[in-house]
Amino acid sequence: MSEHAPLGGGGERGHGPPSRRDVLRAWAPAVAYMGLIFGLSSMHLQAQIIEQLPFRDKLVHTIEYAVLGGLCAYATRRTWPLHAALRTSLLGAFLAVAFGVSDEIHQSFVPGRNADVNDILADVLGASLGVLVAAYWERRHTR
């Protein structure tokens, strides 16, 4: 099990379970970012701008979900710091991808938008990259 940055939680020297406040702080960026994604995917105009260039929307999805994957990985690591890093990182990636799938379903109900399996694949790639970057960053900054 890899080391992690101490939290202000209940254990000795901050290595116990995190406080409710720590958990809320950890999840706030991910939840806010999900709200931003949901809002943007509700807009008809955004789809027209992005889809004018071939594959540009896939790049946008990859970047968008790399950020979300990193935020979710950060949140899961801070929520369950005593669990294995791999397990919590995979949970972060899963949550980001699950949100991506739900967002594609949401888009199928937005006039002028549609659900696209290739967007989900770009979301999976992005979430995976985001989790890897978050793991790398955490490893470098906790030694």
Let me know if residue 93 belongs to a domain.
Answer: yes
Let me know if residue 1 belongs to a domain.
Answer: no
Question: What pLDDT is attached to residue 6?
Answer: 42
Let me know if residue 4 belongs to a domain.
Answer: no
- What's the CA gap between 16 and 7, in Å, rounded? 8
Q: Which domain holds residue 102?
A: 12-141
Query: What are the pLDDT digits (tens) for 21-71?
Result: 999 999 999 999 999 999 988 887 555 555 566 677 899 999 999 999 999
Query: What are the pLDDT digits (tens) for 61-99?
Result: 999 999 999 999 999 999 998 888 889 999 999 999 999
What SS3 class is residue 54? coil
Let me know if residue 119 belongs to a domain.
Answer: yes
Closest CA to 106 of 55, 35, 53: 35
- What's the CA gap between 75 and 80, in Å, rounded? 9
Let me know if residue 2 belongs to a domain.
Answer: no
Domain count, the chain: 1
Q: Are 122 and 69 in contact (CB under 8 A)?
A: no
Let me know if residue 7 belongs to a domain.
Answer: no
**Residue reference for tokens 């379903």:** 105
Let me know if residue 70 belongs to a domain.
Answer: yes
- What's the CA gap between 57 and 50, in Å, rounded? 6
Q: From the CB of residue 87, how many other CB atoms can be counted at a distance below 10 Å?
A: 13
Let me know if residue 6 belongs to a domain.
Answer: no
**Token representation of residue 9:** 């939680």
> Taking the model in full, what pTM does it have?
0.81
Beta-sheet strands, E only, within the chain: none
